[in-house]
Each structure stands twice: as structure tokens, then as C-alpha cells.
Amino acid sequence: MIGILNYGVGNIKAFSNILKSLGSDFKVIESGEEILKVEKLILPGVGSFDSVMEKLEHANVMEELSSFALKEKRPILGVCVGMQILADSSEEGQKKGLGWIKGKVKKFNFASLETKPMIPQIGWNEVLIKKQNCNLLKGLDTNPHFYFLHSYYFECENQANVIAATDYGFEFCSAVNHENIYGTQFHPEKSHHNGIQLLKNFASL
């Protein structure tokens, strides 16, 4: 059973539609009690770092989330800002992140570039798979493209946690993994067949 955490942010319906089409058992959940009753968890995120952390705190699920990910070690997937809050902190705000994957979220800075990409990055971009044996990324196109919408990126402290990267002015981390914890900066729920394949992979972990 996959839980999609509804705490006021993210594309809940889009994730639900894809999982339903895949025939995966899932339910939208809103409480800490429900978190501990599912086998896998999707943590969507849309908005600013601090606002997402505040909504998690107000949902009163932090203790159960920590138990799910760190004690029970069940698979969890953070998407967009849901990935960024896996880090220790962010230049976007003052709040601490979950700190499950060591690193800091930074704002794109193209001051040194002659040709400066637009901020935010909006639209499709290629994702370079760094860990070919990562089960989350199996079965994708040779040069898979995913949909992005963001102004900040995750800078991992340990490069071994980077499972995919993307070039936007410079190469940045676009997917992370540490043990049972996964994150994608891009939106699989908006990325057509590659996104569907990624969510199928997550359902099979």
C-alpha cells in the first residue's frame, strides 16, 4: 500500500491518477496514524521551503514521518520541494529541513555565466542517470526528459547520494537516494511515460 501524504501542497490528484492506472494499491492520507499503516510514502511539495515545513509541522506528522523513514526504513519519495526538505537547510528560508540526506538547498546563481538561463527553470530537461543500478530509475528512456519547475537545487554533501543530475547553466543534482529515502527535483507526475515508469518503479521497491 502506497500512501500519498496530503498536507496542503502537491499534485495529489495527478499522483492518484497514475497509481490508479498502474493498478497500484494506494490511498491519500492526512494523519500520522495513517502514515504508519502504509508500506511506502510519497511526499509531494509545491511552494517555498519554509511554507512546506510549516505545513508538515501543522499536520502534526513529524514524529511518525521520522519513524517511517529512519526507524522502520520504509521507502519514501519526496518530489520537488518534497525532495528539498530532505536536506538540512535551504537558502530560501530559515527553517531546518528534515536532515535525512545531508546537504543544503541553494538558489540558482548564474552571475558568472555570459548566457544566463531563466529563473525559475520551467519545462522539460534531460536527466542524466548517475547510478545505473538504482531501482527507482530503471526502464527509463536512454536520455530521459522530465518536467521541472524550480528556482532552487539540492547540493548534496555526499556525492554518493546523487543518483541523477541535470544541466541548467551548470550540472545540478536532480534526484537523490540514501538507503530507503528517495527524492526527485523534477515532477514525475507531470512527465508522461518516464514519470509513469519512475512511479511504477517506486511502487515495486
Residues designated catalytic = 80, 187, 189
Cell 497514475 found at: 18
Q: Determine the Cα–Cα distance for residues 98 and 116; give it in Å rounded to an integer.
A: 32
Helix (H) / strand (E) element for 176: namely strand 171-178
State the cell numbers at 197: 515508469
Distances in whole angstroms, Cα of residue 27 to Cα of each of 11, 15, 114, 130, 205: 14, 10, 48, 31, 17
In sequence order, what E strands does 157-196 have?
162-167, 171-178, 181-184
